[in-house]
Structure 1
Amino acid sequence: MSRGRLRGPANYEQLNDNNQTGRIAIHDYRPMNVFTYLGCTILFGVIYAAFNVIWGFIAASRAQDLLNQMWVSDVGLICMLVLYLYVTLGFFYWTGRRVIHDLEVSPRGLCLCLLPFLLLECAVWSAGILHGKGDGGVWSAAWTLHTLLNYWSYPLTSSVQFYILNMSAVYLVTSLMPMAAVILGVYSLETRSRWRKWLPVIPGMAAVIIVFTFIAAFIPHSSTLSAGRYPKIDGATAAIPFAQSLIREVTGVNKAGAVQQVDFHTTHQAYLNLIHGKVDMIFAAQPSDQELELAAQQGVKLKLIPIGKDAFVFLVHRSNPVDNLSTRQIQRIYEGYIANWKEVGGEDQWIAALQREENSGSQTYMEKRVMSDLAMVKAEPQMQINFMGGLIDTVAAFYRDHNAMGYSFNYYAKEMHRRPEVKVLTIDGVVPDHATIRSGKYPFTAELYAVIREGEEDSSESSRLIRWLTGPEGTRLVESTGFVPVHSGEDEFR
C-alpha cells in the first residue's frame, strides 16, 4: 500500500487492495467548529441569493420570453424546460464541488450547513402553498418569501403549471433541487475517481438535449389557421377547456400558449363584447332576453350555431340523503313552495336554494328551460352567487348543516371545478351522462353555441372556423372535450 499527498480538500489515500483500483479514502478534514459551520452556511446563503438575483434578471427573464413563444410545440417546450433545468442545476452542482475543494470541510459537515435552508424552504412552502395559498397575512408573506427564494425556477413553474393540475408538489421539488445538486457535487468530489469516467457524459447529455430541443421546437407543424389570423373569441367559463383545445388543434400553438390566449369572461360579458364588436365570436349558452334586447337596440342580429350539448345539473352536499328530485319538485323549491328537505325525502332542514346572478348562462337556462313560465322566488343576497365555481364551493361548505342546493353545467361541475364534497342529483330518475344527453332522456340538456353577428362574410376567419367545427375534425374535438356533438361531421355550416 502506498501513500501520497493529493491536491484537494483533504489528504487522500490510494487503495490497491485485491487489484481494485480507483477507490479514494479521505482523512484530515478541517474540524467543523461553530465558526466553520456559520461561515459555510453564510457562504452558501450569499451564493444562493446572488445566483437568484443575477440569474433571475439576466437568464430567467430571457428564458421566459423564449418559453412564451406559442409556435413552439409541446414537446419542444418540455425539452427547453429540461435544458434550462440542466444548466441551472449544473451551477449548483459545481458550486458544491468548489466549496468542499476550497474549504476542506467534510461532506457531512457541509451538508449540515444546508440544513437551515432545507428547513426554511419546507416551512415557507408549507405555510404559503398548503395552508395559506397566498391569502393574506403571514401566509401571504410566506408565499412571497417562497417566490423570492425560488426566483430562478420561475420560467420552469410558470410553464409547467399549464400541464400539471396540482402544482404544490412541483413547488416543493423545485425549492429543494438546488440543495440536492450541491450535495451531489460534494459527494462527486469525495469519490472523484468513480465520477471521472462519467465526466464526458455531462457535456454529451447537454448536446443531446440541445439537438433534440432544436428539432422538437423548430420543425414546422401544419395548421388550419395561423395564430395571427385566429378570430378574437370570448365565452362562458364552462367553455374554456374546449376553446383551449380548439386553438391548439387549429393553429398548432402549444398548451401554454393556448391557456394564455383564451381569456374568457362570463357569459353575459361575452355577449356584451360580441354585441359591441370587441370580439368576433363567443362560445356560450343561449342569450337572455335582456341580451337579445340590447343586441336589437344596437342593430345587431346574433347567429347561434349549436356545436355541442351538455347536461344542466343540480348539486347538493354528499352527506345529503336526497339523491333524486323530480322536475316538479325542483320547480316548487325555486318557486318557494318547498322549503324543507323532509318534504322531498331528506332531513328536517331548510333548503338553502342558491341562485346565480342575472344574465349568467346558468341563470338564464334555469329561468327559461327549467322553470319555463314559472317565476323563481327572489334570492336573498347571500343566496345569490356571482361565479359558477363559487356556487359549487358554497354547496360544499354551506354552514355546518350542508343543506344547500345549486345548479351548474355537468362538465364544469365534474371536470373543471370538481369538489369531492358535492354530488350531482339524478332528475326524474335519470343520471346525467353522455348516453342520456345524446338520447334526450335526461330532461335538462344545454347547447353550447358558437355565436357570431349576422352578416359575417363566408370568407371571414370566424365563418371558416365554424365550418371546421361542424365538420368531421371539429365534431371529434367537441366530443373529446367533454360535450356531446350536435353535428354528425358531414353537415358543415353554411
Structure 2
Amino acid sequence: MRIKKLLATAALAAMTFSLVACGGSNDKSADTSSSDKGTITITGSTSVEPIVNAMKTEYEALHPDVKIQYTGNGSSAGIQDTIKGVNNIGASSRELTDEEKAENLKETVFAYDGIAVAVNPANDVKNITLEQLQKIYSGEITNWKELGGKDAEIYVVSREESSGTRSAFEELIKLEETDGLTSSAAVSEGNGPVQLAVAKNENAIGYVSFAYIDDTVKQLTVEGVEGTVENVKNSTYPLSRPFLFVVKDGADNKTADEFLKFAVSEDGQKCVTDNNGITVAEEEAAQSK
C-alpha cells in the first residue's frame, strides 16, 4: 500500500511539472535535467515585461533550482547595469548604440515589437503620419484641429530618457532633426503610466508597446497602416523595433547563458507569441520574402 501511494504521488508530481506557463508543449526543447542553480537578475526595458515574466514562469518551472528576478528600469539603465556588472542580463527594446557596442556586449534578439500610437477613445482623429508625429513631439503642432480633429490643445505624453521605447520612437520619427522633445511634454515612466495618462485625458497622445493597447485607449493607424503584429511581420508598419537581451561577452555565467538559449527555443518563443510579440523566426521569414 505504501509503495502504491508513493507511485501515485510521483505520478501526480510529474503531471504538475508538465503544466507550465505559455501553454508549454509536450515536446520540450529545453533541458529539464539541467543542474544549474542560482539567481538570474534581469533589469531593463518595461516593454518586454509581459514576455519576460512569461519566460520567467516557464523557465523556473523547468529549472526549479533557478530563480529569476526582473526589474523594469528602462532599456538604457538595464544596458548600463550589464556594463557595470550589476545584473546578469540586460533587457532592451531598442538597438544598441555604437558606444554601448564598444563595451564588449553580446546581444541576443528574442522578439520584435511594434510601437502603437495611442489617443483617447473620444478623439476623432484616426490616422497620423511620421511627419505629424515629429511635429507634435517637437512642439511644432500643438492643436488637434491641425490634424483634422477638434479645436483642443494636444497633451503630449512621452517616456523617461532611459526608455528604449522612447529611443526607438524618437529615432523612427526622426526627432533628432528638430530641437528635440517639446518642453511641454508630460514624461511617464513605463508603458502602463502612458496608457493610463492617455485613457484619462481626451486630448492626450502617447506611444506604447503593442501589448499595452486595450479598450481604454484608441490606436491610430500610422501612414495609413494599422498597427498589427502581421503588419510588423510584413514590414509595412513604420514603427517597429527589436527586443533583445545583452550580457558581457566572455562572461562566465552558465546559468544566464542557459536562459538565453531558452529564450530563442521553441518554448521561449511561444512565450513571445502568447504575449503579442513577434518571434525571431517570424521576422526572419518576413525579411526573406
TM-score (norm 1): 0.47
- Superposition deviation, residue 339 in structure 1: 1.3
Q: Residues 47 and 93 of structure 2 are in contact (CA less than 8 Å); yes or no, is this contact kept in structure 1?
A: no
Structure 1 counterpart of 2:235, from 440, 446, 455: 440
Does residue 403 of the first structure (1) align with residue 241 of the second (2)? no
2:216 maps to 421
Structure 1 counterpart of 2:75, from 264, 267, 271: 267
Letter aligned with residue 462 of structure 1: A
- Superposition deviation, residue 448 in structure 1: 0.5
Per-residue displacement from partner, 1:198-224 (whole Å, max 9, x unpaired)? xxxxxxxxxxxxx98886457784726
1:228 maps to 37
SS at match of 1:305: strand
1:243 maps to 52
1:470 maps to 264
Structure 1 counterpart of 2:135, from 332, 336, 340: 332
Q: Name whichever structure is richer in helix by fraction.
A: 1
Q: Residues 288 and 364 of structure 1 are in contact (CA less than 8 Å); yes or no, is this contact kept in structure 2?
A: no
1:197 maps to none
2:3 maps to none
Per-residue displacement from partner, 1:305-337 (whole Å, max 9, x unpaired)? 222111111111000000111111111212222
1:394 maps to 197
Cα distance in 2, alignment partners of residues 388 and 301 from structure 1: 29
**Which is higher, the Rg of structure 1 or of structure 2?**
1
Q: How does 1:159-238 map to 2 (within 5 A)?
A: 216-217=12-13, 221=17, 223=32, 225=34, 228-229=37-38, 231-238=40-47
Q: Residues 355 and 379 of structure 1 are in contact (CA less than 8 Å); yes or no, is this contact kept in structure 2?
A: no
TM-score (norm 2): 0.78
Structure 2 counterpart of 1:484, from 278, 283, 289: 278
The 1:225–1:318 alpha-carbon spacing in structure 2 relative to 1, beyond 3 Å, is farther
Q: How does 1:230-379 map to 2 (within 5 A)?
A: 231-252=40-61, 261-286=69-94, 293=99, 300-371=103-174, 373-375=176-178, 376-379=180-183
Q: Name whichever structure is richer in strand by fraction.
A: 2
Cα distance in 2, alignment partners of residues 320 and 425 from structure 1: 10
- Superposition deviation, residue 352 in structure 1: 1.3
Q: Residues 313 and 409 of structure 1 are in contact (CA less than 8 Å); yes or no, is this contact kept in structure 2?
A: yes
Q: Residues 471 and 490 of structure 1 are in contact (CA less than 8 Å); yes or no, is this contact kept in structure 2?
A: no
Cα distance in 1, alignment partners of residues 193 and 284 from structure 2: 39
2:20 maps to none
Q: Residues 281 and 451 of structure 1 are in contact (CA less than 8 Å); yes or no, is this contact kept in structure 2?
A: yes
Cα distance in 2, alignment partners of residues 327 and 358 from structure 1: 20
Q: Residues 227 and 251 of structure 1 are in contact (CA less than 8 Å); yes or no, is this contact kept in structure 2?
A: no
Q: Residues 224 and 250 of structure 1 are in contact (CA less than 8 Å); yes or no, is this contact kept in structure 2?
A: no
The 1:325–1:234 alpha-carbon spacing in structure 2 relative to 1, beyond 3 Å, is same
Cα distance in 1, alignment partners of residues 238 and 220 from structure 2: 12
The 1:460–1:490 alpha-carbon spacing in structure 2 relative to 1, beyond 3 Å, is farther
Per-residue displacement from partner, 1:233-285 (whole Å, max 9, x unpaired)? 22322222222222333341699x97x84444332332222111121212221
Cα distance in 2, alignment partners of residues 455 and 270 from structure 1: 18
Cα distance in 2, alignment partners of residues 464 and 363 from structure 1: 30
- Superposition deviation, residue 463 in structure 1: 3.0
Cα distance in 2, alignment partners of residues 429 and 441 from structure 1: 10
- Superposition deviation, residue 404 in structure 1: 0.9
SS at match of 1:243: helix
Cα distance in 2, alignment partners of residues 246 and 425 from structure 1: 30
Q: Residues 77 and 162 of structure 2 are in contact (CA less than 8 Å); yes or no, is this contact kept in structure 1?
A: no
Unpaired runs of at least 5, structure 2: 1-6, 18-30
Alignment RMSD (CA, Å):
3.4
1:6 maps to none
1:454 maps to 249
Q: Residues 145 and 151 of structure 2 are in contact (CA less than 8 Å); yes or no, is this contact kept in structure 1?
A: yes
